[in-house]
Amino acid sequence: MTERVPVRNLYYLFAYAWNQFPIAAEADSGEDAGPDGTALLTRVLVFGMLRQLRRGLDRIYVSHEEELAGARGRIDLARTLTGSLLQRGRTVSRYEELEYDSPANRLLKATLRRCALDQSVPIALRRKVRALHRTLEIAGVGDVRPTRSAFCQIQIHRGNRRYRFLLHVAELLMESRFPDETGVEGPFAAVMRDEARMAGLFERFLLNFYRSEQRAFRASAEVVGWQVEPRDELSASLMPIMKTDIVLRSSTRTIIADAKFYRQTLQSRFGKETVRSGHLYQLFSYIKNMEPKEEVPVEGLLIYPTVQRNLTLRYRIAGHPVVVATVDLTAPWASIRERLLGLPLAGMDGSGDGPPLASLQMPDAGNHSFQASDPHHAAP
């Protein structure tokens, strides 16, 4: 799936999934960092760090206990008297002091150190990285091993909320490697091979994209109530939760959109390509259970990522418009954006691209009535 996807597109997918796209786009200057994802993310990290330095680094209160001249904070009276320190004008004092040695700064420092040693990062960029590393060193920021658990333990609050994006980028740099654009494994391939993680990423990307990039629909993830009458409390308690990936609502339309991250959009059966039956059944279940509570027609939209192929398939299933569509992640980002914005507007009469509907078989639908909108028409 990702072996030919430009690293900048992958970066934008992550940025939307993190709900940090505005700052991510600002941090990406568009300079040619080559096909290597490490260089791109390192440049983004440098941009973010320089901006954070201008605003001020995060500081935390650090507790100290030491013998000193005079007194500071709270005096440990027992130790002071035992050591006969008062006669010499000294005390054992306990006090707190604001310092830059926070867990977040430690992780950023560790990431900068790793980037400074990475030979795939351009020399000029590594110089900037080393300068930032020295700045944190001089500020008294300590060292830490940058593990996944260390990143998970960071507390983001109002005072350091601007660190959220920096830590996302740092974690991605530290934990994994992207594929480069030639298909040769580069610094982040492990993340992209994790299909479960990428599925969640694609889902969050689409939800946040539709929340931020258009105003025609309200976008949210919703729990759909089952149209069921359980006979007892045990039966009711064991019913699974039915949660949608995305629901797009306007005054006249309700669209249930399901994000599907699969290497192969279509399934092959007896030598014929078909839409994946399980995905359609799941979407149809969402539609039928949501329908009784809606005042407007409920539509369905399946969205798959793909490389170098776009499909827009339109059906009417038991009276409900359903679109099965792909978005080509190898396309320029502007084209990806335009494609995604157009999908909710496609409906049964919208324009699309791909092979003739007649060349694609619907799965065996059992007792359901699945009808292609125009089985003899080749989408333009």
What domain count does the chain have?
3
Are 204 and 260 in a shared domain?
yes
Most confident of 97-111, 175-189, 268-282, 359-373: 97-111
Are 37 and 75 in a shared domain?
no
What is the CA 170 to chain-centroid distance, rounded? 14
- Whether residue 119 is predicted with pLDDT greater than 80 in this model: the reply is yes
Are 240 and 353 in a shared domain?
yes
Which of 212, 229, 231 lies closest to 220, judged by CA?
A: 212
Are 271 and 303 in a shared domain?
yes
> What is the average pLDDT across 345-363?
45
Are 281 and 338 in a shared domain?
yes
Range of lowest pLDDT (98-102, 122-126, 180-184, 297-301)? 180-184
Q: Which domain holds residue 364?
A: 197-372
Q: Is residue 337 part of a domain?
A: yes
Are 265 and 139 in a shared domain?
no
Half-sphere exposure of 252 (CA within 13 A, CB side): 4
Residue with tokens 């418009």: 321
Distance separating alpha carbons of residues 284 and 277, to the nearest angstrom = 10
- Burial tier of 143 (Cβ tally within 10 Å: 0-12, 13-18, 19+): exposed
Are 89 and 177 in a shared domain?
no
pLDDT, tens digit, 9 for 90 and up, residues 64-93: 887 778 788 788 878 877 777 777 888 888
The pLDDT assigned to 62 comes to 85
Distance separating alpha carbons of residues 325 and 378, to the nearest angstrom = 15
pLDDT, tens digit, 9 for 90 and up, residues 290-331: 988 888 889 999 999 987 678 899 999 999 999 999 999 989
- Whether residue 194 is predicted with pLDDT greater than 70 in this model: the reply is yes
Label residue 3 by pLDDT band (50, 70, 90).
low
- Burial tier of 300 (Cβ tally within 10 Å: 0-12, 13-18, 19+): buried
Half-sphere exposure of 358 (CA within 13 A, CB side): 5
Last residue of a domain, one of 193, 223, 255: 193
Are 113 and 35 in a shared domain?
yes
Q: Is residue 377 part of a domain?
A: no
pLDDT, tens digit, 9 for 90 and up, residues 230-244: 888 898 888 888 899
pLDDT, tens digit, 9 for 90 and up, residues 142-188: 999 988 889 999 988 888 888 999 999 999 888 754 444 444 455 55
Are 114 and 174 in a shared domain?
yes
Q: Which stretches of the chain are DSSP H helices?
A: 7-17, 21-27, 37-55, 77-82, 103-117, 123-138, 148-152, 163-175, 189-193, 195-213, 233-237, 277-290, 333-346
CATH number at residue 260: 3.40.1350
Tell me the two tokens of residue 351.
């324009």
- Kindly report the pTM of this predicted structure: 0.78
